[in-house]
Structure 1
Amino acid sequence: MESAVLKENAPVPSQARPRRRPRLRAAAIAAVVLLGGTACTGSPGPDPSSTTPATRQGAPVTFRFGTGADPAGLDPALVADTESYRVTRQVLEGLVTNDPVNGAPAPSLATSWKELGDGLSYRFKLRGGVTFQDGTPFDAQAVCTNFERWYTLPKSTRGDGSGTMFKQVFREFSDQPKDSIYGGCTVDGPLGVTLRLKMPLTGFLQALTLPAFAISSPAALEKGTANTLNQTFYGNKVSKYALHPVGTGPFMFTSSAPGTVTMTANPKYWGEKGQIHTLIFATYDEPETRLAALEEGTLDGFDPVTPANFDKLVKAGKQVLQRDPFSVMYVGINQAVPVMKDLKVREAIAAGIDKTTLVNDFFIAGTAATGQFIPPKLSGFNNAVPGIPFDPVKAKELLKSSSYKGQEIKFYYPTNVTRTYLPTPEKVYAEIARELTAIGFNIKPVPIAWNDGYVKAVTSPGDHALSLMGWNGSYADPDNFVGPLFGAPNGELGLQDPQLVSKITRARSLPNGPDRTAAYDAINKLIAATVPAVPIALPISAIALSDTVAGYPLSPVLNEVFNHVTLTPPAK
């Protein structure tokens, strides 16, 4: 899964300006994000009338950025992968965004908000004078149209919904109202809206920073029959709207072709327009081709950098920027496969994987092995939960005393892709498979190209006993890490653990403080004891940039919008 800091009130920057490094040294600049208070009672924003859009100067600039995979679709409500969000973040905006300095929820299409009713509703004041890219006005009714659309998504559109952020945050849709915490959306005048919840959600404002909750033009949703998946985009079933999203963002979607998405600057954007006129995201399956394209000037930057390319970039004196780790790479265990229900089998898998070797050999330096799914700088990380240590002798003993009798274990892994949390998936798979074979497992490799539906294959019910996956954190709350994976039954893990679900449901509604931290401590302990999946690493990810780039809005939650890219002046 995708589509991921510091302890509360630690003032640190989350953006960094790249600098030219001396040869053979990487001046890698880490971006970090602050945990803001999640139960914000009011957050003032700039007065709409005081917003003065920046004027673009100089000749039109085309910026080409290389990526490691194609997007799955461009309707953010129905996707959860970073490459889709990389595009939609440029085109669409939500009510709130991440503050670039402290990571807390900050004004975007809403200029201020107020918590009401002990966290059961939030009233937002909306930004005036904003239009969608199709010329229709942005207003309160547009906000409610989007929220009601997400709540009422039909099964034919969403499937079981487990891959949508709406379900991961609000738990269910309108066809199961008793299990959903979404309470409705009310228009309070042209520029006022109230969102209601059925129970408090401490990370609600943080969750609204997710790209999935960006506001689309209602007219474009209707014109594009957004709930009817009758088109194809990079091999995925999508709607007409997902072929041409329309929002209020700094860039307008222009076109897509195999391996390429093109956008142009929005001339009527309400905020900072920036220097880039044409923005192109180009897919390069192989790390070497991305590197070559940057070196020859075909690309102005790319993401992600692999460990092998990191050294080459440093030696060539290229700019390399590192993000603060805010993702987890893990091995998924599917308990719908009968033998995986045996705890001893799952413990043997965990004890048989040498995380240190994996981290040292296949990830960027600074990546840490982990025994937990919550990053250590988030509240809720439990120092007393180191996870099951690597011990092949113990692993063999566990396997011998288990119900496993040599059955074939299908191990799914992605090919032809580089992810921020998994830079070299084939090599990581090969090492883990070798280690598990050495302790007695009969491993059957099942490689699937990322663009041929890998994510769907491993997140849907199926015969995948093991899978390589990762989770990019999207906002600074522990629920964003444990909730999507373990907070409800899903096809990826085949998990039926009412106790774990109950603990997560309770923890996400507790106010910030010792009780909430203790609740997530207990969740970490339960996950470590029951081994529904094996966390491997908290990866460092990095991007490479050409010397034409003077500043880049680096973000650990990948909120990197290209109107904030600054370019060096051309030589005179």
Structure 2
Amino acid sequence: MWGQEVVSVVRRKARLRTAVKTAAALLALSLSACTAQPAPAPSSSAPAATATFNFGTGADPMGLDPALELDSESFRVTRQVLEGLVTVDATTGAPAPSLATSWQELQDGLAYSFKLRQNVTFQDGTALDAAAVCTNFNRWFTLPAALRGGGNSTAFKQIFKAFSDDAKNSVFKNCTAMGPSDVTIELNSRLSGFLQAMTLPSFAISSPAALTSMTADTLTASVSGHPVSAYGQHPVGTGPFRFTSWQNGKVTLSANQNYWGTKGEIGVLNFITYDQPQIRLQALEDGTIDGYDPVTPGDFDALVKNGEQILQRDPFSVMYLGINQAVPVMADLKVRQAIATAIDKQSLIKAFFIDGSQATSQFIPPKLSGFNNAVTGYGYDQDKARKLLAESSYRGEPITFYYPTNVTRTYLPTPEKVYAEIARQLTAVGFNIKPVPVPWSDDYLGKVTSPGDHALDLMGWNGGYADPDNFVGPLFGTPNGEFGSHDPQLISKIDRARMLPNGPDRNDAYQSVNTQIVQTVPAVPIAFPISAVALSNKVATYPVSPVLNEVFNQIKLAK
């Protein structure tokens, strides 16, 4: 087990080695452009991809229907198979052409028109057209209640607020095919981050034929206790890779020879799950895999010593401690304040996160508008925490603390160690902590985001696009089972902020949202973590992305 001093030594050594490479991908803050030019057409004479590439991951996907999942391992796979109307520009973070070559904002932000790319087919041979796009939007809008989960469990709910059975409260109005290659999306209210939201992998366009033939809206199977449909086990899109198989901790994809864009060099792509960091590291060292994600702080010394590459992502996620106010004692503000004050964030980051990770008192990263420099949060003060606890209604009741095991997340490299240290700090000020370890593969995500007895939980949020709403909207924009609270004023503030045009008023609105979250403590933000990918020397370039938009046809292999 790594001690704090040992980790620091490893980091100091790692900083001195030139083998460590840092990705300098920047996220643009000005993301309001409404038009784009088509991407250049790829050469059709490129040779067929033949290489096999094996990539280690920290967990299995939850499912492969991106409309119904929110975890990064599911999206890692579906990003290869499916595409959306727009994608993320690797340099600026702005929306860039994908299945749409250009777009235009209409009616002062109440509608958007898209021009679709010509001669694109889904991997089952059916054509991409405006009707196919609308089939997907209409499916998301009319999802059966059984598929929606609780709170903000689908991206559609996070972005558009409501489904067709509550149409008056939905931001989405309709999708209309204006011609074979022209589609218009109408909204009931302005959504300034609409184009940015469309870059999310959740809004990738599936083959309508596959959705029908594999009964995508009927959950007939289970993956590690998580319900999925037949389509959720065999997605069909327009992307550079086709789904081949998923079994025994390995997802296999093959190159889509009919792909409209750059096909890349990889013919067979395997994502292989290793839930323990040391096993991933060993697999890279012995050549079983060609890369893995995520790197833990304890990996650095061995990776550098062996001459492997480490690519660090710019921080664009937040790790936090969730607090469930549906558990009666957690409804007491002083109890929540005592929790926030008892946590020494700096010691956690120094011991368990990659160098450069930053402590935080708010959920919106400092690169985005809405970050509030005036918000300082609750500083670490054990005496103050004890005083707050003594003044509260807490009388020593067991506090159930859920944390994931057998997993490594980009926002939480070593969850068991982070849990142990936070539990120690809370116990030191008078809390009676009851540990509830839950294997990630036992639907940890579902358990802590649904109503239940979890008083505390370890979680994180990976940013998907460069807009402050992406960080506070999904977590606090509607009541949800993780936090067990209903704060109409906070929800109203978030709703207002997301509709304002980009500018000072919107920035002020999100700063106000930040302030209220700090004051009411529905959760305790702890860190903006840096994450990293390890790669063998087989890899010449890798498309590292702060928002994890890493599509493997962009990998260049060493000659």
TM-score when scaled to structure 2? 0.96
Matched, 1:296 2:289: no
Partner residue, 1:409: 399
How far did 1:40 drift? 2.5
Q: Give the structure 2 partner of residue 356 of structure 1.
A: 346
Q: Supply the AA of the counterpart residue of 2:20.
A: A
Is residue 155 of structure 2 the alignment partner of residue 165 of structure 1? yes
**1:463-542 superposed matches below 5 A:** 463-542=453-532
Offset, 1:235: 3.5
Q: Say which SS state the counterpart of residue 410 (structure 1) adopts.
A: strand
Superposed displacement of residue 22, structure 1: 11
Aligned to 2:11: none
For residue 93 of structure 1, the aligned residue among 68, 83, 101 is: 83
Shift of the alpha carbon at 1:315? 2.0
1:199 partner SS: coil
State the distance in 1 between where 2:35 and 2:17 align: 48
Structure 1 letter corresponding to 2:26 = V
Q: Does 1:272 align with 2:262?
A: yes
The equivalent of 1:227 in structure 2 is: 217
Q: Which moved more, 1:155-164 or 1:524-533?
A: 155-164
Residue 54 of structure 1, CA deviation: 5.4
Tell me how far apart the structure 2 counterparts of residues 95 and 504 of structure 1 sit (CA, whole Å): 26
Aligned mates of 1:55, 1:429 — CA distance in 2? 53
- Once the two structures are superposed, the pairs formed by residues 257-406 of structure 1 within 5 Å of their partners are 257-406=247-396
- The equivalent residue for 1:16 is none
**Is this contact kept in 1: 2:497–2:506, CA < 8 A?**
yes
| CA drift at 1:45 | 1.9
CA distance in 2, matches of 1:379, 1:349: 28
Go from structure 1 to structure 2 and tell me whether the alpha carbon gap of 1:389 and 1:80 turns closer, same or farther (over 3 Å shift). Answer: same
Deviating beyond 6 angstroms after TM superposition, the runs of 4 or more aligned structure 1 residues are none
Contact 1:36–1:105 (CA<8 Å) still a contact in 2?
no
Look up the equivalent residue of 1:262 and give its one-letter code.
T
CA distance in 1, matches of 2:235, 2:247: 15
Cα distance, 1:33 vs structure 2:
2.9
Contact 1:55 1:273 (C-alpha < 8 Å) held by counterparts? no
Structure 2 SS opposite 1:349: helix
CA distance in 1, matches of 2:395, 2:226: 38
- 1:161-207 CA-to-partner distances (Å, cap 9, x unmatched) read 62100000001111111221111000010000000111110100000
SS in structure 2 at match of 1:76: coil
Deviations 1:340-381 (A, max 9, x none): 111100000000000010000000111111111011111111
- Counterpart contact for 1:62–1:276, Cα < 8 Å: yes
- Give me the whole-angstrom Cα distance separating, in 1, the residues matched to 2:487 and 2:108: 30
Q: 2:151, 2:480 within 8 Å by CA — same for their partners in 1?
A: no
SS of aligned partner of 2:165: coil
Match of 1:30 among 7, 23, 34: 23
2:398 corresponds to which letter in structure 1? E
Q: CA shift at 1:213, angstroms?
A: 0.2
The corresponding residue for 2:38 is: 45
Is contact 1:411–1:467 with CA below 8 Å preserved after alignment? Answer: yes
Q: How far apart, CA to CA, are the structure 2 residues paired with 1:539 and 1:172?
A: 31
Q: How many Å apart are 1:303 and its aligned residue?
A: 0.2
Aligned residues: 546
Whether the 8 Å contact between 1:363 and 1:539 is mirrored in structure 2 is yes
CA-CA distance at 1:30 after TM superposition = 2.5
**Aligned: 1:108 with 2:98:** yes
Q: Which residue of structure 1 lines up, in the alignment, with residue 5 of structure 2?
A: none
The match for 2:129 is 139
SS of residue paired to 1:166: helix
Give the SS at the match of 1:41: coil
Q: 2:141 aligns with which of 132, 143, 151?
A: 151
- Whether the aligned pair in 2 keeps the contact of 1:276 and 1:563 (CA below 8 Å) is yes
For structure 2, the residue ranges without an aligned partner over 5 or more in a row are 1-13
1:65 aligns to 2:36 (yes or no): no
Q: Is the 8 A contact 2:25 2:90 kept in 1?
A: no
